[in-house]
Amino acid sequence: MHLKRIMLIIGFILVVIGLGYAIYVVFFTQQGFNNPQSTTTTETPTGSQFPTAGQGTGTSTVGTPSDRLPSSNEVPDTSGAQGTTDSTGSSPLVNQLVEQPISNASSASNGGVKFYNQADGKFYHVTATGAVDALADTTFFNVSSVDWSPKRNEAIIEYPDGANIYYNFDTKEQVTLPQHWESFSFEQTGDKIAAKSIGFSEENQWLVVSDPKGTNVTPIEPLGQNAAKVIVDWSPNNSVIALSRTGESLGSDRQEVLLLGQYGENFKSVIVEGRDLRSTWSPNGEKLLHSVYSAQSEYQPQLWVVNASGDTIGSGRKLLNVNTWADKCAFADDRYVYCGVPRILEKGSGFVPALADAAPDDIIRIDTQTGLKQQIQTDGVHTVDSMFLGDSGRTLYFTDKNQTGLFQIPL
């Protein structure tokens, strides 16, 4: 019996040691956001490997008091400071410009808005005066995604079956692009596009750049196993063409994001404090507004802003103390941003964003330098799906998750 008791004690000790090691591996050495092939070398990567963190340094500080902006409880209530008012002078009006179901709305370079009408399969332009005109008589059935040229009246149109076309709405020119290309983004001049070229095998998956008609193709970076970790998004200053979540492992709630250029630039990296990275560039391309969720935020999305150009990449990082997603936001200029912010946000909504689809949004104007937040008082109840500025910043446009059409708020 004495020997049996000793063996039980030894077994118990071994189990405790094993559990302790397992906890250490899971919570302190997690590799979930690391490039599985990364090394510490600074040489140009080959195969399916992106540049490693050795080719850039990011900030490593977490949310200290110096990089946190005041919450809405710490700033003056200036509700209603923006927007036009109705005849009683009480609150800005939300105008519904289009009632039909639409998608892929974007501001037009010549003013107004361009969008795809899901009801009749045609593309339209809403002028600054509110007139709605068809961009072309051609019908495009069942469009899934559109990337608009920032300078010309042209677009890359994607379909659910993987088919892609370039279309010029002025000349009616149509060019079929490779079916294995996806996730398009225009350069700000409109002369080039970036995309993911997803071949059948991993060695044939690349980040590429070409002209909008798909010629003069240049392979930029091999994607390999990391295609899903790359966000193709050409910065307004044309320096960055994509963001890649393939940096060093920093734990379960932190990621190192690499900024990729078209000429193999040795950019610094950016540290983000969570998962589900969503981002939008400031108009001059100097800053990156982004949202992530983490245990610290009870798995709700949080907005951050960080410098993302040149030698300042990774610096000036600020927590804006706003719980929403970056794709519900739009920059008015290089300092101010408008966002749809859910009035009620459940814990864990970062995992399941659809939890907020039924929640009404407040539309908030945020000063990214001071943290000042101004609520735009609106009539009606809306849940923002997408948002953008038009008419030289004089008009805020948005689409609603629960109502069809296009909405406008004069500023």
CATH domain 105-229 topology = Neuraminidase (2.120.10)
Q: What is the mean pLDDT of the chain?
A: 82
* DSSP 8-state secondary structure symbol assigned to residue 3: H
pTM of this prediction?
0.78
Q: Is the pLDDT confidence value at 160 over 80?
A: yes
Instruction: Give the pLDDT mean for 243-265.
Output: 91
Q: What is the pLDDT of residues 42-88, one digit of tens each?
A: 333 333 333 333 333 333 333 333 344 444 334 443 333 444 444 44
Where in the chain is CATH 2.120.10.30? 105-229
Nearest to 58 by CA among 300, 267, 205, 290: 267
CATH domain 69-98+233-411 topology = Neuraminidase (2.120.10)
Determine the Cα–Cα distance for residues 311 and 370; give it in Å rounded to an integer.
23
Q: Is the pLDDT confidence value at 7 over 70?
A: no
Contact 149, 190 (CB under 8 A): yes
> What pLDDT, on a 0 to 100 scale, did the predictor assign at position 380?
86
Q: Is the pLDDT confidence value at 39 over 50?
A: no
C-alpha to C-alpha distances, 374 to 158, 268, 276, nearest whole angstrom: 37, 33, 27
In sequence order, what are the residues at sequence separation of 6 or more whose Cβ sits closer than 8 angstroms to the Cβ of residue 259? 56, 240, 243, 244, 267, 268, 269, 270, 308, 313
Contact 302, 291 (CB under 8 A): yes
- 32-41, 131-140, 286-295, 337-346: least confidently modelled range: 32-41
Specify the higher pLDDT residue, 196 or 18: 196
Contact 190, 148 (CB under 8 A): no
Determine the Cα–Cα distance for residues 59 and 314; give it in Å rounded to an integer.
5
